[in-house]
Amino acid sequence: MLGGKESASPRYIFTNLSKLTRMLYNEQDDPLLNFIEEEGCSIEPEYYVPVLPSVLINGAEGIGTGWMTFVP
């Protein structure tokens, strides 16, 4: 619409996983996951299955209709 001036800066186009990622998400689980494809490229799984549930690391707190949760 703006002749290409609305495109993203090249420094924001690529991302990489940190080394810590494979410690939390086992590489052997990859064949079991359903990867999303965009423009013919496999980009990421629909969901991740961590070795250690992140709710135990980060905690959680929330409220819903008739229910409340608190994981310190």
- List the catalytic residue out of 12, 25, 47, 48: 12
Known catalytic membership, residue 48: no
Asked if residue 45 lies in contact with residue 21, where contact means CB atoms within 8 angstroms, the answer is no
d(CA 14, CA 8) in angstroms, rounded, equals: 11
- 29 closest CA partner among 18, 21, 37: 21
Q: Which residues are catalytic?
A: 12
